[in-house]
Amino acid sequence: MVIAGLLAILRGDWATAIAVVSGFAECYSRDHYRHNTHLWHMKLLVKAGLLDELADLAETDVHARRQLDRFLYEEGRDVELRRRAERGDKTALYFLVRLLRAQGEQMVAQQAVADIDATDIHAIELANQPLADG
């Protein structure tokens, strides 16, 4: 399974890689190989650009949610992170704050926390950390 998935990735054949991996993947499996394969499956969905599928899975799968939020952060997609945070996704809120601060927008980050969840201590602390000297 692993070799077939890797060979498909090397060919750039995301559909085959995902099909091979998803058949073995199992979220929170007692078998750590199956669980790790589940995490790999989530990463493959990002690499394949299947963000809608990942977003659908993110409704019920914490690993999909985290992978999607990380992708949005890395791509600088603050609007989408904010939308997700406003719907209650705490990881999206934390990534949004980090992204805004990385863009030098500390006051915007602080306002986002105030608007989205003014009771989230972790988000408040993230938003109020001093900006690193460049």
Instruction: With CA atoms as reference, report the closest residue to 103 among 67, 68, 123, 75.
Output: 75
Question: With bands split at pLDDT 50, 70 and 90, how would you rate the model's confidence at 1?
Answer: low
Write phi, then psi, for 130 (nearest 5 degrees). Answer: -60, 140
Instruction: With CA atoms as reference, report the closest residue to 95 among 107, 109, 111.
Output: 109
Cα separation, 81 vs 112, in Å, equals 11
> What mean pLDDT, rounded, does the chain reach?
92
Question: With bands split at pLDDT 50, 70 and 90, how would you rate the model's confidence at 116?
Answer: very high
Question: With bands split at pLDDT 50, 70 and 90, how would you rate the model's confidence at 134?
Answer: very low
Q: pLDDT tens, 55-92?
A: 999 999 999 999 999 999 999 999 999 999 999 999 99
Q: pLDDT tens, 32-49?
A: 999 999 999 999 999 999
Q: How much of the chain exceeds pLDDT 70, in percent?
A: 96
Cα separation, 112 vs 102, in Å, equals 14
Instruction: With CA atoms as reference, report the closest residue to 41 among 55, 26, 60.
Output: 26
Cα separation, 100 vs 105, in Å, equals 5
